[in-house]
Structure 1
Amino acid sequence: MARSFFRKAPQFWEKRGPTALLLWPLSWVYGLVLRIRKLIQDLGLINRQAVPVPIIIVGNIRVGGTGKTPIVIALAQRLAQLGWQPGIISRGYGSSAQTQPVQVRSDSDPMQVGDEPVLIAKRTHEQFPIWVFPKRQQSIKALLKQSPEVNVIISDDGLQHSSLSRWPAREGGRDIEFVVRDGRGEGNGFLLPAGPLREPANRARDATLQTESSNSNKSGLSEEYFEGRRTFALVGTLDTPYQLHHPENIQTLAQISEQYLPDQISAVAALGNPQRFFAALQKQGVTGKWIPLPDHASYTQDFFNGIQSQCILITEKDAVKCAAINDERIWVVPMSLHLPNDLIDWVQSILQRPDPHRYNL
């Protein structure tokens, strides 16, 4: 729900200024609700059905995207190379209201199932079953019924989904909870609505996946809660752009920067952290006009008609929402993510553990 209110992160979330301090009492109330909910869970007052296969949750504690979806794609592909048969579930943020789980295809309507699940299906060429529904337990049941060969499930987000039963690796189980963290860190460190956090920054986690060097220390926040925690640094790279409706037409970012003047290049991104895309372009020598939009924003022909540039660069996540756009100026910039071998080795060692539910439930 928080994401629907804050599609674009307000600036006061990044430092402890007057506005954040004014809203802090509401954050305290929100934190109290979280503590009560955790107490109910710890007392076993909610009966949660165990999932028969391991679950890997790739989530975040900060509202807005931190780069989870590329990790889900890379993780599923690497596990498949090692002989696992992954399935993927997602809430399908931005999708229309659904009454039951829906399987996602590469040609699914992103307005119906969400832009990120469609991106996953396209990037993986439908190699893995992907199901979306706000109630993840129902998505898992539908996925396993349709694809009983699946032996590990990757959840795109879901750390705060209390009904999703799991036994994390840190407790001796084989389910894994990843917290994805980007260069913004935890902002001012406050919970919603005074800050960007959906739960405290010191939440337990099996590992932190760092997608960028954090600059959170600029706000004076301590990072002591990372001491002794398993952390993996992930490196993403921009690949060769292709024309939106003619993917066989490609040109490198170097060719784009040589062909067009900076004032004739625009880059558009509807992400949780669009500045990450713009910064990556700049590192590749591409400069121009940056147009950040709220996460999951939709596109129209009129929007692109209003951009006075000869070349428009967009992300793959945005591209799945541009099927009806007819504009030869639009080029899609893919991104690849490298997962370190020590991360994959550790994940596989956890997945190979005996099922703890079989002996303890």
Structure 2
Amino acid sequence: MSWPSFWLRADHNHIAWQSRLLLPISRLVCRVARRRLQAFETQHPPKVTEAKVIVVGNIVVGGSGKTPFIMWLVEQLQQQGFSCGIVSRGYGGKAKTWPQMVTPDSDPKWVGDEPVMLVKQAKVPMAVSPNRVEAIRYLEQNVKALGGHLDVIISDDGLQHYAMARDMEIVMVDGERGLGNGMCLPSGPLRESKRRLKTVDFIVSNGTLRYPLAIADTIEIMRLTPVCFRNVKHPEKTLSLEAFKNQAVNAIAGIGNPARFYRALNRLGAIVESRDFADHQAYQPKDFSWLKQQKEAIPLLMTEKDAVKCVAFAEDDWWYLEIKPQCSQPFAEQIIKKLRRL
């Protein structure tokens, strides 16, 4: 989700009036979150799987790069011989029953956009449910029924889902927005106090941190490298990164930080006319009626997360930017080493 301006980092001597006004509720949110964490630490929930559970989450609302990081993480684990699966809440999915298995052909309308994108890219079994413990059980049942097994289950988000036991916690931070003004909802973007970062195993920043996190000792940087433009309607068709250089393009983004995507297109030389949509937007053909009102046909560019929801009605000149996430090899070795120790 896009953040209101008063959530963004401000001068230490100045807090926006909106944040001050909401401070009593903010303090309550922090207090409730702290008590929930204390209860979790006092009495851990029972594990429902022999697989190691890695939670990839965040302490702020809105996107922070969890999906591309999970793609990178799965690749690293598979290279070391680990059999992986993924569970998620299936945010935005409107399925009438849960849990649900996700396949590359699943409709994002029922199971959520990010799960479909993850399954297409990572090519591992995945289950979604608002109750992640149920999702873990359902995932294992389905994998075992096919004669397989899972060494590691990655939970896409769920850091605050304390009914779920976990073996490792990795927190993602948006390098551009950081922790915003550092305040809990609704005064700021935090789901819980930033002190929570001291209790997790690893912190990963999506891009270079614009503002330092004084509370964290070491932070890994994830880079998102553009690969090519891929056609939404016919994904086997690709264009080079220079394809839209010095060319006018339309661009949409229904992600947590749309400005990041538009800047990426600008760096590739495109002349961008942008239009934001809500995070996890359930696109319909009518959302693109404005394209028909333009005097000339201009290509439409989007993220892969947007593309999975537009395949059914995409036009021939709709393209998404394919990216490759990358973290350092020493960081991958740290995760593997800790996993083997567990």
Question: Do Structure 1 and Structure 2 share a fold, with TM-score over 0.5?
Answer: yes
Letter of the 2:72 partner, please give it: A
Pairwise CA distance, 1:322:
0.6
Q: Which runs of 5+ in 1 are unaligned?
A: 1-6, 167-174, 218-222, 355-361
2:138 maps to 1:139: no
Q: Secondary structure at the match of 1:119?
A: helix
| 8 Å contact from structure 2 (residues 48, 133) kept in 1 | no
**Which residue of structure 2 lines up, in the alignment, with residue 232 of structure 1?**
220
**Which residue of structure 1 lines up, in the alignment, with residue 229 of structure 2?**
241
**Which residue of structure 2 lines up, in the alignment, with residue 351 of structure 1?**
339
2:161 maps to 1:161: yes
Pairwise CA distance, 1:250:
2.0
Distance in 2, matches of 1:57 and 1:110, equals 22
Distance in 2, matches of 1:38 and 1:88, equals 23
Q: Which runs of 5+ in 2 are unaligned?
A: none
Letter of the 2:205 partner, please give it: Q
**CA RMSD of the aligned region, Å?**
1.7
After the TM superposition, which of the residue ranges 27-36 and 57-66 deviates more from structure 2? Answer: 27-36
**Which residue of structure 2 lines up, in the alignment, with residue 213 of structure 1?**
208
Q: Secondary structure at the match of 1:58?
A: strand
**Which residue of structure 1 lines up, in the alignment, with residue 152 of structure 2?**
152
Percent identical across equivalent pairs? Answer: 36
Distance in 2, matches of 1:214 and 1:197, equals 17
Task: Map Cα deviations across residues 46-80 of structure 1 (whole Å, 9 max, x no partner).
Answer: 75335322111111111001110011111112211
The within-5 A match list for 1:32-47 is: 32-44=31-43, 47=45
**Which residue of structure 2 lines up, in the alignment, with residue 79 of structure 1?**
77
After the TM superposition, which of the residue ranges 93-102 and 327-336 deviates more from structure 2? Answer: 93-102
| 8 Å contact from structure 1 (residues 187, 216) kept in 2 | no
Pairwise CA distance, 1:301:
1.8
Q: Secondary structure at the match of 1:38?
A: helix
Per the normalisation by structure 2, the TM-score is 0.90
Residue 66 of structure 1 is aligned with which of 64, 67, 78? Answer: 64
Task: Map Cα deviations across residues 24-58 of structure 1 (whole Å, 9 max, x no partner).
Answer: 110011112122223333443x7533532211111
**Which residue of structure 2 lines up, in the alignment, with residue 115 of structure 1?**
113
**Which residue of structure 2 lines up, in the alignment, with residue 176 of structure 1?**
168
Task: Map Cα deviations across residues 102-130 of structure 1 (whole Å, 9 max, x no partner).
Answer: 11000101010000000011123xx3110
Off by >6 Å, runs of 4+ in structure 1: none
2:284 maps to 1:300: yes
Distance in 2, matches of 1:257 and 1:42, equals 53
Distance in 1, matches of 2:232 and 2:239, equals 12
Distance in 1, matches of 2:72 and 2:222, equals 11
**Which residue of structure 2 lines up, in the alignment, with residue 331 of structure 1?**
319
Distance in 1, matches of 2:52 and 2:238, equals 39
Residue 12 of structure 1 is aligned with which of 6, 10, 13? Answer: 6
Q: Secondary structure at the match of 2:265?
A: helix
Alignment: residue pair count? 326
Distance in 2, matches of 1:98 and 1:343, equals 40
Letter of the 1:207 partner, please give it: F
| 8 Å contact from structure 2 (residues 29, 192) kept in 1 | no
**Which residue of structure 2 lines up, in the alignment, with residue 341 of structure 1?**
329
Distance in 1, matches of 2:64 and 2:98, equals 28
**Which residue of structure 1 lines up, in the alignment, with residue 184 of structure 2?**
191
CA gap 1:98/1:57 in 2 versus in 1, 3 angstroms? farther
**Which residue of structure 1 lines up, in the alignment, with residue 195 of structure 2?**
202
Letter of the 1:179 partner, please give it: V
Letter of the 2:161 partner, please give it: H
Pairwise CA distance, 1:205:
1.3
| 8 Å contact from structure 2 (residues 45, 164) kept in 1 | no
After the TM superposition, which of the residue ranges 74-83 and 243-252 deviates more from structure 2? Answer: 243-252
Pairwise CA distance, 1:236:
0.7
Task: Map Cα deviations across residues 194-244 of structure 1 (whole Å, 9 max, x no partner).
Answer: 100001112121111011222346xxxxx3201x3x321111111211221
Letter of the 1:122 partner, please give it: K
Letter of the 1:189 partner, please give it: G
After the TM superposition, which of the residue ranges 182-191 and 206-215 deviates more from structure 2? Answer: 206-215
After the TM superposition, which of the residue ranges 103-112 and 279-288 deviates more from structure 2? Answer: 279-288
| 8 Å contact from structure 1 (residues 75, 339) kept in 2 | no
| 8 Å contact from structure 2 (residues 262, 272) kept in 1 | no
Distance in 1, matches of 2:47 and 2:300, equals 48
| 8 Å contact from structure 2 (residues 226, 324) kept in 1 | yes
Pairwise CA distance, 1:146:
1.7
| 8 Å contact from structure 1 (residues 241, 253) kept in 2 | yes
Distance in 2, matches of 1:339 and 1:254, equals 25
Q: Secondary structure at the match of 2:236?
A: strand
| 8 Å contact from structure 1 (residues 211, 233) kept in 2 | yes
Distance in 1, matches of 2:64 and 2:172, equals 6
Task: Map Cα deviations across residues 11-33 of structure 1 (whole Å, 9 max, x no partner).
Answer: 11114300011101100111121
2:97 maps to 1:102: no
**Which residue of structure 1 lines up, in the alignment, with residue 270 of structure 2?**
286
Q: Secondary structure at the match of 1:77?
A: helix
Q: Secondary structure at the match of 1:255?
A: coil
Pairwise CA distance, 1:135:
0.8
